[in-house]
Structure 1
Amino acid sequence: MDRLDNSVRPYAWGSVTALPELLGVPPTGAPQAEMWMGAHPGAPSRVDRDSGPVTLSEVIAADPEGELGAVTTAAFGPRLPFLLKVLAAASPLSLQVHPDLSQAAEGFAAEEASGVPLDAPHRNYKDANHKPELLCALTPFEGLCGFRHASEAAALLSGLDVDGLKPYADILHASPEGDALREVLTGLLTADRAALAETVAQTAAAAERLSGGTHADTPQGVAYATSASLARHYPGDPGVIAALLLNHVRLQPGEALYLGAGVPHAYLNGLGVELMANSDNVLRCGLTPKHVDVPELLRIVRFEAGEPEILRPDPVGGEEVYQTPVEEFRLSRLVLEASRPGRELAGRTPQILLCTAGRVTLRDAADGTELVLERGESAYVKSGSRPEVSGGGTLFRATVAV
């Protein structure tokens, strides 16, 4: 068992207070957006095995099968296949999608062959892996996820009574659903930005006007309020209109959202635990000053409408498990009571354990050593270890699903 020393990413959309409060440290005054726990090369965690701090990436590279186990290395090679984060959003993230495994491999190979530097601002693929992800709310959490049905999106656009939106509403009313969503998103992303900026401004003004009063708590009012808020953060951005094509989601603490390949989404605000495949592949659709590769984006997006599924954990052997269809990761939650005996977390795969409330003690069943995790602290457990967990608190457990 190794206590993790983790990096915090200072992205502009991050909260000034949420992560410091979780970690029990004073705010720096700057945004703190994500705490990364794992072995991603962008910000690997560090451990100290009595010879000084070293990255978890280096530990695993030195003995992949000893650290990860035969099952994990056979399935995913000599690397930790997941990345655990705590995400603290105070303002909206970009509207984005992630590729599937074959798309990521193809895109990465093409950019490598073309000699596009990994740090180039127009680079799409940082690695050859897919990035399915699971977000579990620690506080009330809001986001956009997946396409609304075309008829619902058309009604929202028509309700704003903005001349520049009428052609898009007509397409959504008249065309087959998938084709309509594709045509409207394509039109928004390829339109002349200067010409579209006036329509975006009119959309924001109308949305602001219609989001209050008797509409405030209605689905229509929430959609309009979201669009108006996005316009304040990203004036003139096509994503302000594109957001009206997407479902608005509110998660309560303990609820989760799974995001597969090709699903457009944007996190809006809140604190959550995020678990994903170990990748950094993001294609942006809007709500960003960064590069948007429209042809590649349209190759990746799945133009399928429907209500997003809000996940609640299933009780499995004393844990609460968030079920997803991927093998790279498995997220579970343990709510421990000090008056009850500890329980063993044996496994053939590596684990990262994160305490989000209270105080939890890990005891190695083999040699009796103990590690105490306070709120915000985390630990790496190599394959084959059998830690016993006890105490009073909430522990999230990330491991491999195979």
Structure 2
Amino acid sequence: MDRLVNTIRTYAWGSATALPELLGTAPTGDPQAELWMGAHPGAPSRVDRGAGPVSLADAIAADPVGELGGPTVEAFGPRLPFLLKLLAAETPLSLQVHPDLGQAQEGFADEEARGVPLDAPHRSYKDANHKPEMICALTPFDGLCGFRPAAEAAELLDGLGVPRLKPYADLLRARPEGEALRDVLTAVLTAEPEAMAATVNAAAEAAARLAPERPEYAPYAALATHYPGDPGVLAAMLLHHIRLAPGEALYLGAGVPHAYIEGLGVEIMANSDNVLRCGLTPKHVDVPELLRVVRFEAAPPGVLRPAPAPDGSGEEVYPAPIGEFRLSRLPLAAGDPARALPSGTPQILLCTAGRAMLTGPDGAQLTLERGESAYVPAGEAVLTTGEGTLFRATTAP
């Protein structure tokens, strides 16, 4: 097992204090948005096995089967198939969707054939992989996730009392639900920019005026303060607003529009960087490709709560219909017997509260304080003790 040295990404939407408070470090004044744990080429973790720090990606590439195990390499190739993060949002992230595996392969091949540089601002596909993800709240966590029923979205728009919104509300009621959601999102994203900005600003003013008595409008008034005139504010009104309590989670599959608004959480995803944006961003929005990828299906957000693992190990598992990752939580209490973690897959262990002690098969010990993490290769047995909370990221069995 290896202690991980991780990189903090300083995106503009990040919190200046949430990660420093968790890590016990002094704030730098910069917005610290994400701490990455894994082997993604964008910011791989580093390990030191006696010859100085090396990239975890390089360590895995030198012996994929030894590090990941034969079944993982056979299923997902010679790289760690998941990326674990601590995510700290102080202002909203972009409203976005992720492609499924087939869409990602097609989109990546198309942009490669057209010679679009990987770092081009208008590039949509950075790799040929899908990016299902899960966020588990460590603090109260606000977000947007999945389409509301069309009639419910129409009622929300009507309640603002803005004449410019009436055509959208009427359309949501006049068509079959999937068609209505597609047509309204398309109309919002393709409208003449100045006219749309005026509509968004009128909607935002109405939402701010109504919010004290009708709190369902407060999130959209807040979004507009960060992104005035952005069509993503109206697109967000088509989605469920949700607040996760600490310990609750959301799974976000392909094609589901979503945005994180505010909070601190543990995020896990397939090892990909493919994002298609709908709004709430100054970045490129590829409307035709977005409409190809979005699933225009109204569905409840599906808040997840952890369930005890059937093996009696004490793990609390967040269920997800995906093979690339499995996220679980281990509450550790003083005086409890040591727990043996399954050893057939690669895993990253992250301490989010208290302290966790890890013991390897040779008796070597590693202590994780809050915010610290370790990588455990496949085949290496580990015992856990301590007092606090340990998250375990691995692949599905």
Partner AA of 2:199 in structure 1: T
Q: Which residue of 1 aligns with 2:283?
A: 290
- The CA distance in 1 between the partners of 2:191 and 2:64, in whole Å, is 49
Partner of 1:400: 395
Structure-2 residue corresponding to 1:373: 368
**2-side partners of 1:96 and 1:346: how far apart?**
35
Count of paired positions: 394
Give the match for residue 197 of structure 2.
197
Structure 1 residue 341 displacement after superposition: 1.1
The aligned residue for residue 319 of structure 1 is 315
Alpha-carbon separation, structure 2, partners of 1:230 and 1:248: 12
Shift of 1:161: 1.2
- Structure 1 position 321, deviation (Å): 0.3
* CA deviation string 1:291-347 (max 9, x = no partner): 000000000000000211000011012100001100000000000011111111132
Q: What is the SS of the residue equivalent to 2:385?
A: strand
CA deviation string 1:143-182 (max 9, x = no partner) = 0000000000000111111111110011011111100000
1:302 to 295, 300, 312: 295
Contact in 1 for aligned 2:343/2:382 (Cα 8 Å): no
Look up the match of 1:218.
none
CA contact (8 A) 2:158 2:165 kept: yes
Structure 1 residue ranges (4+ consecutive) displaced by more than 3 angstroms after TM superposition? none
- The answer to whether 1:22 aligns with 2:22 is yes
Q: Structure 1 regions of 5+ residues with no counterpart?
A: 216-220
- CA-to-partner distance for each residue in 1:90-137, whole Å, 9 max, x for gaps? 010000000000000010011111111000000000000000001000
1:67 aligns with 2:67: yes
Please give the secondary structure, in 1, of the residue aligned with 2:123.
Answer: coil
Supply the AA of the counterpart residue of 2:255.
Answer: G
TM-score normalized with structure 1 length: 0.97
The partner residue of 1:235 within 215, 228, 232 is 228
Output aligned runs, 1:88-237, within 5 Å: 88-213=88-213, 215=214, 221-222=215-216, 224-237=217-230
- Measure, in 2, the Cα distance between the counterparts of 1:80 and 1:359: 26
Q: TM-score w.r.t. structure 2 length?
A: 0.99
Query: What do residues 33-65 of structure 1 show as CA deviations (whole Å, max 9, x unaligned)?
Result: 000000000000000001000000000000000
Matching residue's letter, 1:106: E
Distance in 1 (alpha carbons) for counterparts of 2:76 and 2:381: 22
1:347 aligns with 2:343: yes
What CA distance in whole angstroms lies between the structure 2 residues aligned with 1:171 and 1:335? Answer: 49
> Helix, strand or coil for the counterpart of 2:337?
coil
The SS at the match of 1:311 is coil
2:266: which partner in 1? 273
In 1, Cα distance between the equivalents of 2:211 and 2:55? 49
1:310 aligned counterpart, secondary structure:
coil
Q: Structure 1: how far apart are the matches of 2:295 and 2:230?
A: 22
Q: Which amino acid aligns with 2:324?
A: E
